[in-house]
Amino acid sequence: MSEELPKNVLRAVKMKTGKNVSEKDIFKLASGVKPTTFQNEKQLRQLIMQVAGLVQAPVSEATIDEIVSTVKKSGIHPNNLEALMKMLTDKS
């Protein structure tokens, strides 16, 4: 993962939520993510809720459905976490 990506993710989180999240928190969360997380809808939903908890932001079921659908349709290989993070942060 490039060195700039964590900084871009942190900036995007701050811009969207107004919350400061540490790089350590992002890496701690990311360390539990496996390629199968993106293939298993239940695990993906849990990940979304973990991220929401990290930034203390409520996420509606409709938003979760939209994120799950976007990830499934993206065609991004689950092993390429950098491309996935870029896709999500570019949606700002």
Which pLDDT score, from 0 to 100, does residue 6 have? 62
Q: Which of 90, 83, 81, 91 is nearest to 27 (CA)?
A: 81
Which pLDDT score, from 0 to 100, does residue 61 have? 94
For residues 32-58, average pLDDT: 85
Which pLDDT score, from 0 to 100, does residue 37 have? 83
Running DSSP on this structure, what letter comes out for residue 39? T
User: What ranges in the chain are assigned the alpha helix state H?
Assistant: 4-17, 23-31, 41-54, 61-73, 81-89
Q: What does the mean pLDDT of the chain come to?
A: 76
Domain boundaries, the chain: 4-89
pLDDT at 74 over 70: yes
